Amino acid sequence: MHRRTFINAIGGSSAAALWPAGAFDPARAGRRQRVESGTQGQGPPSGRAPVTFAAVGLNHSHVYGQVETVLKHGGTLAAVYAKEPELVAAFTKRYPQAKIARSEQEILDDRTIQLVVSAAIPNERAPLGIRVMQAGKDYMADKPGVTTLAQLADIRRVQAQTTRIYSILYGGRLESPAVQRAVELVHGGAIGQVVHTMGTGPHKIGTNRPDWFWNKDQFGGVIGDLGTHQVDYFMALTRASRAEVVASQAGNLTHPDRPDFEDFGDAMLRSPSGSGYFRVDWFTPAGVPTFGDSRLTIMGTDGYIEVRPNVDLAGRPGGGHLFLVDQKETRYIDAKGTPLPYGPRLVDDIVNRTETAMTQAYCFLVAQLVLEAQAKATSPVLPK
């Protein structure tokens, strides 16, 4: 089939169906087990609620996206707990069906709860996930799902002991139709073999940030936080089963009043199937009509793709923009309607004890590379 015919035909199809036999598939390494058991990864039947879940730790608004991810695919929100009464009040206003637990332990002891989602303060997410797994439940953490290599070692050990799911919601890809479509196109051969990826993840610093936001030990550093998306992009697009951090930088360039904060970071990555570079920062000006003008460029042997997931500055309205250039033409693709498979697959994994939303090996490998890039980062040159 001609490449152009092929690209036109795939539409919103799942990326998994496009992978060659035997290829490393971080999103669906467990697919064979499910297909053989007769399920096709479409999520639970309509009206069925196979997963009862709770939210513990509400310190970042990403928790609302986590909750919606499970609710949309048959989950039942049973309970919520957080130390901050004002956060619980806002949460239960939106989700009145959630019972307010008196303690975290009350949720851990509830045998009807199968999954816990959390957007707690970043350095508290891994210890919570360990307690959740030891209580016999699965866990979905907001990114970053771990802030130190020591935490990662503990998570790996407990996950292996308990065989529970420890999933990190790398939302830049898993919640982005444009990035999801880019992955599908790349895996379908639209631009040949991946040679290099380049990502930028700028972000507005905003106002009224909580105290933990300014503390590196709590938020994990600029690469440990914002860089999680970028490393996930690189690994998913290259389909690499191993990679290394070539070099990285991180530092505080313009916030002298916040000595424990980092506002800039970048890194170079290398794998057997491509190299990559990314930059993350907190310098997005107020004139940008969204939280950040993120960009992702994937260069291949037969073309390239540029993704503008959040905004096309002075161009088309909204987000979900993708530009594809190959040997014949340049195309614009409106990717807003691309299906997002992570939610239904995670629910299915919890029910069937498979790992089709994201393998544990992939989840932990991305986290490891992020933490290594943060740990080895040198100081960038200060602007004059």
pLDDT in tens, 320-368: 999 999 999 999 999 999 999 999 999 999 999 999 999 999 999 999 9
Mean pLDDT for the chain overall: 88
- In the predicted model, is pLDDT for residue 382 greater than 80? no
**Helix, strand, coil percent values for the chain (each to nearest 5):** 35, 20, 40
State how far the Cα of 77 lies from the Cα of 378, in Å rounded to an integer.
43
Tokens of 312: 């096309």
pLDDT value of residue 310: 87
| Beta-strand relationship, 99-100 and 295-300 | unpaired
Report CA 87 to chain centroid distance, whole Å. 23
Least confident of 50-59, 206-215, 256-265, 305-314: 305-314
Q: Which residues contact 58 (CB under 8 A, 6 or more apart)?
A: 80, 82, 84, 87, 88, 90, 91, 119, 120
What Rg, from alpha-carbon coordinates, does the chain have? Answer: 20
pLDDT value of residue 39: 28
Collapse the DSSP code of 277 into the 3-class scheme (helix H, G, I; strand E, B; otherwise coil) and give the result: strand
Helix or strand holding residue 5 (H, E)? helix 3-10
Could you tell me the residue ranges of all domains in the chain?
41-169, 173-340
Number of neighbouring beta carbons within 10 Å of residue 9: 10
State how far the Cα of 7 lies from the Cα of 144, in Å rounded to an integer.
34
| Beta-strand relationship, 51-56 and 75-81 | parallel
pLDDT value of residue 315: 87
- In the predicted model, is pLDDT for residue 9 greater than 50? no
pLDDT value of residue 18: 29
Strand partners, 249: 266, 378
- In the predicted model, is pLDDT for residue 48 greater than 60? no
Question: Please, what CATH class does the domain formed by 173-340 belong to?
Answer: alpha beta
Question: Comparing 23 with 136, which gets the higher pLDDT?
Answer: 136
Concatenated DSSP letters of 195-253: EEEEEEEE----S---GGGG-HHHH--HHHHTHHHHHHHHHHHHT-S--EEEEEEEE-S
pLDDT value of residue 15: 33
Q: What is the DSSP letter of 16?
A: G
> In which band, very low, low, confident or very high, does the pLDDT at 19 lie, cut at 50, 70 and 90?
very low
- In the predicted model, is pLDDT for residue 45 greater than 90? no
Concatenated DSSP letters of 68-126: HHHHTTTEEEEEEE-S-HHHHHHHHHH-TTSEE-SSHHHHHH-TT--EEEE---HHHHH
pLDDT value of residue 4: 37
CA angle 277, 337, 24 (to 5 degrees): 45
pLDDT value of residue 8: 38
Helix or strand holding residue 303 (H, E)? strand 303-308
Q: Is the pTM of this model over 0.85?
A: yes
State how far the Cα of 266 lies from the Cα of 280, in Å rounded to an integer.
6
Task: Dump pLDDT digits (tens) for 111-138.
Answer: 999 999 999 999 999 999 999 999 999 9
What is the crossing angle of helices 177-187 and 3-10, to 10°? Answer: 140
CATH superfamily label, 41-169: NAD(P)-binding Rossmann-like Domain (3.40.50.720)
pLDDT value of residue 340: 96
> In which band, very low, low, confident or very high, does the pLDDT at 314 lie, cut at 50, 70 and 90?
confident
Q: First and final CA of the chain: distance in angstroms?
A: 55
Asked whether the beta carbons of 325 and 303 are under 8 A apart, the reply is: yes
Query: Exposed (0-12), middle (13-18) or buried (19+): which is 233, by Cβ within 10 Å?
Result: buried
* % of residues, the chain, pLDDT over 70: 87
Question: Comparing 371 with 315, which gets the higher pLDDT?
Answer: 371
Q: Rounding to the nearest 10 degrees, give the CA dihedral for residues 314, 318, 320, 324.
A: -30
pLDDT value of residue 381: 82
Q: Which residue has the tokens 């935490």?
A: 151
| Beta-strand relationship, 303-308 and 295-300 | antiparallel
Query: Exposed (0-12), middle (13-18) or buried (19+): which is 253, by Cβ within 10 Å?
Result: middle
Helix or strand holding residue 296 (H, E)? strand 295-300
State how far the Cα of 109 lies from the Cα of 111, in Å rounded to an integer.
6
